[in-house]
Amino acid sequence: MKTCKDKQVVVGSDGAGFALKEAVVAHLKAKGWEVLDLGVTGEENRRDPDNMFHRVGFRVGSKISEGEYEKGLVFCGTGMGIHIAAGKCPGVHAGVVESVPAGLRAACGNGANVLSMGGFYVAPVMGCEIADAFLNHNLGDGYEDIPNFYAYHKLARDEIEAFDYEEYKANGFQVHKLGDVQLGGK
């Protein structure tokens, strides 16, 4: 698997997210990252139907699902459509963010493995800072001093991964709990 520890990431954008993706990729490459780009790579393929937001989202999401990459970054106009598409791939936990604290929370609290940003809303400098926060942190990293922070969020991610809607429905819309963890405060 290509990991963030080894500075390897998969990315993709449609035409609307292209400029933001290019800024983030240039920033990452300047920091020594190896980047696999599965979407729009220039004006010549900006309007290619194969690079519609959802198709790029599927391609990036599949690299996560297949265990080829640990994390991915996706970009479209709003960040929403491409995130929905990536999230259709098994094991993908995608989040749309527009701020550094949200990017940090997506990694540390939600264990997201795909981060989505919208070129209409996120400035290039902010996108670079968001990418850094996301790629350099993992589920449970203790930027918040809260007892059981990791266990609480790990349980949530595990239950989301194991969620079966038909089982949920058959169980009277009750969650099949894998366990319980109290999130402690100060």
53 contacts: CB under 8 Å, gap ≥ 6: 14, 16, 17, 76, 77, 81, 82, 85
> Is residue 89 flagged as an active site residue?
no
Q: Do residues 40 and 3 lie in contact, with contact meaning Cβ atoms separated by under 8 Å?
A: no
- Active-site option among 76, 89, 108, 128: 76
- Interatomic CA distance for residues 148 and 167, integer angstroms: 28
Give the rounded distance of the alpha carbon of 107 from its chain centre: 8
Distance CA 135, CA 14 (A): 21
Q: Residue 122 and residue 128: Cα distance in Å, rounded?
A: 10
Name the CA dihedral angle for 44, 47, 48, 52, rounded to a multiple of 10 degrees: 140
DSSP letter for 21, please: H
Which residues have a catalytic role annotated? 76
